[in-house]
Amino acid sequence: MSHRHRRHNCSCQDERRQRWVEPSILYTLWSGPKHGYEIMSELPELGFVRGSADPGAVYRALRTMEANNLVRSEWDTSGAGPAKRVYALSEEGRAHLSCWLAALRERRDALDAFILRIEQLMPQSVESD
C-alpha cells in the first residue's frame, strides 16, 4: 500500500468495499456539482452499472462520502419544485479519486497477468476476446 493510500485512508484497498459506486460518483463530480439524479443518470454510462443505478446505494454512498469529507452538499432552492441537494467534490475527494486510480491500475495489472496465465493454458481455438 502506498503512502497516498495510508494518508487518505483509502477504501479502494478494502476488498469488502471494492465497489464501483464510490469511484464512479467521484468521477461524475469531477466536472462540477450535480444533483443526485444527475449523478445516477451518468453512472450507467461508465459501464459498471447495468440498467439504472440503485438510488439507495448512490445516496448511501454520498452520505458516507460526505461524512468522510470527500464530497460536500448544499440545498438548491432555485427553480420550481422542492429543494434539491447538490453535491460537489472536495479537494480530499479529488485526492481520493487519485487513490482509486492507483488501486484500479494495480487491479488491472493483476487481472491482465491472470488472463494471460489462463490464455496460456487454453488451446488457441478456445481463446476469445
Q: Judge whether residue 15 has pLDDT over 90.
A: no
Q: Judge whether residue 122 has pLDDT over 60.
A: yes
List the strands of the sheet with 84-89, edge to edge: 34-35, 84-89, 71-76
pLDDT of residue 116: 94
Compute the distance between CA of residue 113 and CA of residue 79 in angstroms, rounded to an integer: 52
Domains in the chain, number: 1
CATH code for position 62: 1.10.10.10
Average pLDDT, the chain: 84
Tell me which residue range forms the domain holding 98.
3-126
pLDDT of residue 129: 53
The one-letter amino acid code at 93 reads G
Q: Give the lowest-confidence range in 12-16, 84-88, 91-95, 115-119.
A: 12-16
Q: Give the lowest-confidence range in 11-15, 69-73, 124-128.
A: 11-15
